[in-house]
Amino acid sequence: MTTMTENNTDIVFILQGLNGSLTDRQLYFAFALMSYSFTVFVNLTLIVTVCLDKTLHEPIYIFLCNLCFNGICGASCFYPKLLYDLLADSHVITYIGCLTQMVATYSYIFCEFTSLTVMAYDRYVAICRPLQYRALMTVQKVAQLLFLTWCFSMLEAFVGISLTSRLPLCGRHLPKIFCTNWDVVRLSCSDTTVNNIYGLVLTFSHLLQMVLILISYAHLVRASIRSLSDRRKFVQTCLPHLVTLLIFTTSLLFDMMYSRYGGSNTMAVLKNALAAEFLVVPPLINPVIYGMNLNETFLWFKFFLRRGSASLEEE
């Protein structure tokens, strides 16, 4: 291959993931729009519930709001462009647009992992060191953890995308319905050793976070055996956290399977579903899982449903 252009900013990438008929794409558009709308709705509902109920102004629920906000950000870096492409005749994205989407996507991924690590630490302190919880998890400490979560995650994303942006590219066809760093790096005409090393560093970093979460839960399981109240606390706040972690890591594994083993014979719909699951499923499921433990959330759902029914009756 030869270099397409000396200036990468002149490149317009072609997204090859959407090759179905217009009728199929209109059907996918309807499903995607409903999924995006419901994702934003359930996450905002939980955030509003926590903000309005003073009894929920606890560190774990503040971290939960952060998780929901990150879910909205992750969905918003994916759905709007997808919805536009589903109704468009050509499926393209500019080089700058592609880099911007990748920064937003990977910031979401890294922030999700870091948020889950911070939430595991919070649960460890709450159950294993209850007498010190108020002293350790102060308002200032919570604010610092949130600040570090976002700064650390965005820094990881910016460094990775900056390393990719320096590479001259020899192609402009991307096999997915959105931009990913790995697919852009594979179009490079030059050596990508630095990118690969940084990818390994990130992998090790998040594996370390996973180990810290597992160690925290080993202590939590042992501590929850002590009393009924500790077991109840574990079920109410720790079990949803574990389910969230499982869903997110499974979704990322699906994306890795697609990148490595998604051959040309794989159905396009299946390939797109595997590739985008980590942007679709966790933001949609997380607030539902946690909201099941908050009666106030269901009250807000009922409120919105009543308002919707009243509007329909008036019409």
Interior/surface letters 260-271, b for 16+ CB within 10 angstroms, e for the rest: eebeeeeebeeb
pLDDT in tens, 24-52: 788 889 999 999 999 999 999 889 888 88
pLDDT in tens, 101-125: 999 999 999 999 899 899 889 988 8
Assigned domain for 299 exists: yes
pLDDT in tens, 228-242: 666 666 666 677 777
**DSSP structure string for 96-124:** HHHHHHHHHHHHHHHHHHHHHHHHHHHHH
2: left (phi over 0), alpha (psi -120 to 50) or beta: beta
The mean per-residue pLDDT over the stretch 236-264 comes to 69
Tally of domains in the chain: 1
210-214 long-range Cβ contacts below 8 angstroms, 24+ apart: 210/113, 210/249, 212/117, 212/120, 212/121, 213/116, 213/117, 213/120, 213/245
Name the band, by pLDDT with cuts 50, 70 and 90, for residue 261: low
pLDDT at 312 over 50: no
Query: Whole-angstrom Cα distance, residue 144 to residue 142?
Result: 5
| Element holding 13 (H helix, E strand) | strand 12-15
Query: Whole-angstrom Cα distance, residue 60 to residue 47?
Result: 12
Q: Which CATH number does the domain housing residue 240 bear? A: 1.20.1070.10
pLDDT higher at 67 or 127: 67
pLDDT at 59 over 50: yes
pLDDT in tens, 167-222: 998 888 888 889 989 889 989 888 899 999 998 898 888 888 888 888 888 887 77
Assigned domain for 175 exists: yes
pLDDT at 141 over 80: yes
**Residue numbers of the domain that contains 192:** 10-314
Assigned domain for 87 exists: yes
Q: What's the predicted TM-score (pTM) here?
A: 0.84
The torsion angles phi and psi of 158, rounded to 5 degrees, stand at -65, -40
Q: What is the pLDDT of residue 303?
A: 47
Q: How many CB atoms lie within 10 A of CB 111?
A: 25
Assigned domain for 2 exists: no
